[in-house]
Amino acid sequence: MKKQLLFTLAFLGAITFASAQTEIAFDAAGDDLQTFTVGQQGSDELDEGIITVGGTGVLVSNNNFMGVRSDTPTDNGATGVWSFTISTTSTTAINATLNLDMAKRPGCSVSGTVAVSGYTNTSYSFGSDGTDISAVIDAPIEFGSIISLVSGSPIAVTITLDEMLNVDNTATSIFRLENVILERNGALSVEEISANSIVASVSPNPTANSFQINSKKSIESVKLYNITGRLVKTFGEEAHYDISDLTTGIYIANIKTQLGSKTIKVVKE
């Protein structure tokens, strides 16, 4: 009986240890920009517990993402929901921007909303670009409001996929969440937040040696972070941003202009 009890306790302990990770915590003493990974690896901050699917949607899990896939190439109308919580131990309120590192197949269209408790929803819509390939392309979503985090008041985030249509692909459609990125942004006023309509793009992306930034506003600085959130390079405004000395992988470029900042994922080949 004693052995059976010990076995039962050990089994329950294993279940508890393997339970879904559905909450991330912004470290008040950490870097201004922090990236939280999504996937099945033990080091990932968010995993399969954050996602449900519906319609013709099928859960797709990987070490690098959690996504929704259509059941077959001819199926349309896949739906899904990613939900998780953001918290902090800081007793002083932290204002932050919320960026969602999403990706989809070029030949499918996706649309839906991002809801954060206490804030106005942000809608998103990405159309097909007419390409029939099985690779995925970036579909980043920036939440439209600055969120405020403080100890004892966790914030619920819900990403709703209302519809995914397979427009041009012969492969199955897919939409996935790869990273959640929080950036401390307490210096922006309400007026600046409303005016923060920065349009910026990076090319080429992926890149082997350098990239350019196309922006409607003059660039004050560019900070490049690795996927763990560590600052690896800082630039001023330059014609070409040299990253030839960096190892291959995914980096986060924080582009600061007179109106605020924009976060873009850069892939180093």
pLDDT at 7 over 50: no
**Do residues 174 and 101 make contact, with C-beta atoms less than 8 angstroms apart?**
no
Mean pLDDT in residue range 157-165: 96
Looking at residue 195, its pLDDT comes to: 40
**Is the per-residue pLDDT at 116 higher than 90?**
yes
Domains of the chain: 23-184 (2.60.120), 200-268 (2.60.40.10)
Question: pLDDT grade, residue 19 (50/70/90)?
Answer: low
Is the model's pLDDT at 193 over the cut of 80? no
Strands 231-235 and 210-215, sheet pairing: unpaired
Peptide bond between residue 204 and the one before it cis (omega within 30 degrees of 0): yes
Distance, in Å, from the CA atom of 193 to the CA atom of 44, rounded to the nearest integer, reads: 31
Give the full edge-to-edge strand order of the sheet including 260-268: 231-235, 219-226, 249-257, 260-268
8/107: higher pLDDT = 107
Asked whether 26 and 94 are in contact (CB, 8 A), the reply is yes
Report residue 15 as tokens: 């279940």
Secondary structure tally for the chain: helices H, strands E: 2, 21
Q: Which two tokens stand for residue 240?
A: 């070409």
Task: Say if CB 128 and CB 109 are below 8 A apart.
Answer: yes
Q: Which residue has the higher pLDDT, 31 or 216?
A: 31
Per-residue pLDDT at 38 exceeds 80: yes
Q: How confident is the model at residue 252 (pLDDT cuts 50, 70, 90)?
A: confident
Q: Is pTM beyond 0.85 here?
A: no
